[in-house]
Amino acid sequence: MAHTSQNGTLTAPRAFGSGYLFGVPLGDLGLFTTLLMSAAVGFAAFFASTFCAIITLLFYKVATSHMPDFTITYKWVGLPVGVVVLLLTLAYLGTLWVKRKLRKG
């Protein structure tokens, strides 16, 4: 599916392999922006996985009438997921940043 630009020429949609994800130019980010975006995604993954783990333990408590230790949601679920997502995001965005720097230099 091609789009028409303002001057009437057809443009192809941005592809995932060219450094674009959902139209966001991830390949054009600077070093600070790369680090900031990676940290934001890591924090979001930490909080989302912790929330899901707390909800799961609440359902477990209702089903079994046992009081679970809710600190495991942070230590065993939230922290590992947040760290893994942070590292994956840093690796992906970092390689895009390095490729752009090598291409320019």
Say what the pLDDT of residue 3 is.
59
Q: Confirm whether 13 is domain-assigned.
A: no
Say what the pLDDT of residue 13 is.
57
Query: Using one digit for the tens of pLDDT, what is the confidence trace for 40-97?
Result: 999 999 999 999 999 999 999 999 999 999 999 999 999 999 999 999 999 999 998 9
Contact 4, 10 (CB under 8 A): yes
Q: What gap in Å lies between CA 82 and CA 71, rounded to an integer?
A: 15
In terms of residue numbers, what domain contains 80? 28-104
Q: What gap in Å lies between CA 26 and CA 33, rounded to an integer?
A: 10
- Domains identified in the chain, total number: 1
- Judged against a pLDDT cut of 60, whether residue 1 lies above it is answered with no
Q: Confirm whether 44 is domain-assigned.
A: yes
pTM comes to 0.77
Higher pLDDT, 22 or 14: 22
Q: Confirm whether 79 is domain-assigned.
A: yes
Q: What gap in Å lies between CA 81 and CA 78, rounded to an integer?
A: 5
Q: Confirm whether 21 is domain-assigned.
A: no
33 contact partners, CB below 8 Å, separation of at least 6: none
Say what the pLDDT of residue 29 is.
85
Q: Confirm whether 23 is domain-assigned.
A: no
- Judged against a pLDDT cut of 60, whether residue 16 lies above it is answered with no
CB-count burial class (<10 Å; 0-12, 13-18, 19+) for 42: buried
